[in-house]
Structure 1
Amino acid sequence: MDKVQILETLREIGLVPVLRAESHSKALALATAIAAGGVTVLEITMTIPGAMHVMRRLAEERPDILIGAGTVLDPETARMCILEGAKFIVSPALNVKTIEMCQRYSIAVLPGALTPTEIVTAWEAGADVIKVFPANAMGGAKYLKSIKAPLPQVELIPTGGVTLDTATEFLAAGSFALGVGADLVDAKAMADGKPELITETARKYLAIVKAFRESQKA
């Protein structure tokens, strides 16, 4: 897929699970449980031990999953992730050099930003979508709606505070997609030997996205 197709897939699925785990084996197990629920987009964070190995394994064994790299803080790491199969790059903060590296490789880039100035700076630098993080620290969906009012052309993915209870509110505020953390990527459920709970939560998130979009067509 080219970058346009990658971004369209992100929008279509409407969810970007932020995968964090204590080991690469646990990360792979979480990825399998999430994908079983129909969510075939994953952000593999660089905080996972052996994160590059996880991306390589998933890229080779699960071509049905759109793999992105998360917590990418610099252009050098972005390049390594791209070479390991990452199809999009996500960061919790804004680094213009990282955006430039992704543009060089025609890879979708989703830098983190919070204030209006940071968001506009990232957009002008060539970001494809802005990760608003931590969204809950600024008031959640209400903050996102306030940002979209003067900047309707800027695509935003809120991360931080997205749950099954708040997902619809974030979508109504104008989210491009939702960055979902521990509410979906439930390490405790996996530790308890209950991956089916994660799979069911994934299905619930997809149902919320589908229901919201259908309501907009009415």
Structure 2
Amino acid sequence: MLRTSILNRIEETSIMAIVRVHTMKRAVEIADGCLAGGVDCLEISYTLPNAGEIIRQLNEQYQEQLLVGAGTVLDSETARLAILAGAKFIIAPNYNESVCKLCNRYQIPYMPGCTSMTEMIIAIEAGAAMVKAFPISTYYGPTLIATLKTPTPHLPIMSSGGANLKNIDEWLKSGVDCVGIGSLLTKGTKEEITENAKKLRQAVIKNRMQIN
């Protein structure tokens, strides 16, 4: 899958589940719930040692149904292992030049966490596919995106933290390219995850209809 195709799919869905799981059984419950609700992008966090195996098994089970990537990737060694496990994108809470170079070498989108405009421009100029507004999304809320895009309207931004069912419309109207969602898409039963995913996707569709 080409880098551009991966990015197009992320932007099309506009919602990404941020997943931390201890077992494959729970990963499947989350994946099934998200897919049933229309969310097909999952970030599997490397905060847990089984992340690579979860990525590998999800890819084997769901094939093209799911777009599975790796999160909390702090170094190039972890990035390489994640890519070998089948990760289609790499996300981190920080920017790391060696990770950026490795991802570009294998045409895997890299989305590093950045706090300042300076960090974001450095990351994009180095080849990052998108920047993750982290941890500032939680603190500033949806107005952050509009503020960042005023001087750099073409800067692709993913939010991480602070989005919920009550303010998802505000986030989407702000111009954010993808919204990272944790608890809403990873906690509770499969049915609850499905319901939350449906509401989030409905918000995406509604926002696009208003723009068009």
Pair in the same fold by TM > 0.5? yes
1:130 corresponds in structure 2 to 131
- Show CA shifts across 1:60-97 (max 9, x none): 11011011111111111111111111111111111111
1:72 alignment counterpart: 73
Map residues 30-179 of structure 1 onto 2, 5 A cutoff: 30-63=30-63, 64-179=65-180
Separation of aligned partners in 1, 2:57 and 2:39: 18
SS at match of 1:62: helix
- Give the Å deviation of 1:208: 0.3
* Greater Cα shift, 33-42 or 7-16: 33-42
**2:205 is equivalent to residue 207 of structure 1:** no
Structure 2 segments unaligned to the other structure (5+ residues): none
User: 1:10: which partner in 2?
Assistant: 10
Matches within 5 A, 1:180-199: 180-186=181-187, 189=188, 194-199=189-194
Letter matched to residue 99 of structure 1: C
- Provide the C-alpha distance between the structure 2 equivalents of 1:71 and 1:149, rounded to a whole number of angstroms: 28
Q: Conserved in 2, the CA contact under 8 Å of 1:18 and 1:179?
A: yes
Q: Give aligned-pair identity as a percent.
A: 37
CA separation in 2, counterparts of 1:157 and 1:67? Answer: 16
> For residues 100 and 172 of structure 2, what CA distance do their matches in structure 1 show?
26
Q: Give the CA deviation at 1:28.
A: 2.9
> For residues 157 and 127 of structure 2, what CA distance do their matches in structure 1 show?
14
Structure 1: gaps (5+ residues): none
TM-score (norm 1): 0.92
Shift of 1:163: 0.8
**Could you tell me how far apart the structure 1 residues matched to 2:55 and 2:66 are?**
11
Question: Could you say what secondary structure the match of 2:110 adopts?
Answer: strand
Counterpart code for 1:120: I
CA distance in 1, matches of 2:135, 2:115: 7
**Aligned residue identity for 1:11:** E
Task: State the aligned residue count.
Answer: 211
TM-score by length of 2: 0.95
How far apart in 2 are the matches of 1:139 and 1:176? 17
1:21 and 1:197 mapped to 2: Cα distance?
17
Distance in structure 1 (CA, Å) of the matches to 2:139 and 2:120: 14
Instruction: Please state whether the residue corresponding to 1:175 is helix, strand or coil.
Output: coil
CA contact (8 A) 1:112 1:132 kept: yes
Query: 1:216 aligns to what?
Result: 211
CA RMSD of aligned residues (A): 1.3
SS at match of 1:131: strand
The amino acid that maps onto 2:28 is L
Find the aligned partners of 2:29 and 2:182 in 1 and give their Cα distance: 16
Residue 29 (structure 1) aligned with residue 29 (structure 2): yes
